[in-house]
Amino acid sequence: MNTKQVQAAAKEMGLDWSLIVEVANELAQAEAAKRQDDVRQAAWRVLTGERACYAEFWRHGFASRFAARLESSDYTSIPAYDIIYDRVRREFPAWDYEGGEGGLFDFLLSNRPAMPTRAELLGQALDQLIARGEQVEDDSFTFGANDSEF
């Protein structure tokens, strides 16, 4: 379903579009949390610093930059691997560090699953609201509807 189809379905069912957008935003945040994007971003910032030219590469930076090197070596060949591990561990103490440094770098070097598209998130939000039975009261104004007889 594309965005226009979701909008049309929502209108047909009397659902408030802003509520659908709100739920879709919550779903997007939940998806990002599942993918542990904040851990990837923090590790990438430690490696590259705050340089804007590298900022957007956190999603695949470790894999694209170090995949060839790691075919003949291990994660210790990544520059500042120990500092990256320590800082990420301090920033995210609750994160599962199974495998220690190796486990973190296995995660960082793995492919990041693609996020659902905005249209998919809106469709999921619509489905959730329908399942919950959400409805918006019809508060449209009709001229003369509230006129009393004289």
* 69-97 pLDDT, tens digit each: 788 888 888 888 899 999 998 998 877 76
**Predicted pLDDT of residue 99:** 76
Q: pTM score > 0.75 for this model?
A: no
Show the tokens assigned to 99. 């495998």
Rg, C-alpha atoms of the chain: 24
Query: Coil, strand or helix: which one is 122?
Result: helix
**Predicted pLDDT of residue 27:** 92
**105 residue type, one letter:** F
**Predicted pLDDT of residue 146:** 44
**Predicted pLDDT of residue 59:** 72
| Terminal Cα distance for the chain, rounded | 51
**Predicted pLDDT of residue 141:** 34
Show the tokens assigned to 30. 């939940």
Low-confidence ranges of the chain (pLDDT < 50): 136-150
Exposure string over 29-43, b if 16+ CB within 10 A, otherwise e: eebeeeebeebbebb
**Predicted pLDDT of residue 52:** 61
